[in-house]
Amino acid sequence: MAHVLKLFSEPVEDAELLIESKEDGSKNYKIRGIFMQADVKNRNGRVYPLDILRKEVTKYNKNFIQQNRAFGELGHPDGPTVNLERVSHMITSLTPDGKNFIGEAKIMETPMGKIVKNLMDEGAKLGVSSRGMGSLNQKNGASYVRDDFYLATAADIVADPSAPNAFVEGIMEGKEWVWNNGSLVEAHVADLKKKFDVKKRRNEANIRALEFAKFLKML
């Protein structure tokens, strides 16, 4: 049976929005703050053990940030994969500070990035929300994230970081995901594909049997 994962979204309210003017009159738009926290029960009732979070952040730094492909989206995505059409920013750093992980992201000149810049120019309050996959252990009234945790992005930009979690849980966390040939797919899709592959193999076996039977009749 495939190992089933859930999609987690963890909003943070106190990210700092920065607009820096350059000598040529242009501006740099950035978001900086605590992107993730370890060993504390968050308002979703989940706890990320420090060793698990540190290990995954180290991998994320190596495989994404250092490769200039640590992207985030505007809004609440409905899956673990980053959609390049909705990318608004690139995470440029994610470093440990005690049990916090301090991140910084630069807003990009993408269609979604331009929307974020306009919102920042107008003084809009925005927050960030990390997105990851994993499974949970229940203990002491909290849900502890297990060592199968996978960090999809350190920060999506959201307009409602303090909003109720019903939307996220209903749309995102209500789905189950599995690894399939190196990619995350919805569990029911993977199950359908598995059934299709079995049926396909049976059909191929039946065709081979019929062909062999025809061959025997020709002898």
Which of 9, 88, 89, 129 is an active site residue? 129
Tokens 């499974």 belong to 135
Please confirm, yes or no, whether 129 is among the known catalytic residues: yes
CA 178/CA 22 separation, integer angstroms: 45
How crowded is residue 83: how many other Cβ atoms within 10 Å of its Cβ?
12
Alpha-carbon distance of 74 to 143, in angstroms, equals: 27
Q: Does residue 76 have an active-site annotation?
A: yes
**Among 76, 88, 89, 130, the one annotated catalytic:** 76
Helix ranges restricted to H, the chain? 50-60, 111-121, 166-171, 187-218
3-state secondary structure of 85: helix
Parallel, antiparallel, or unpaired for β 142-145 and 46-47? parallel
Annotated catalytic residues are 76, 129
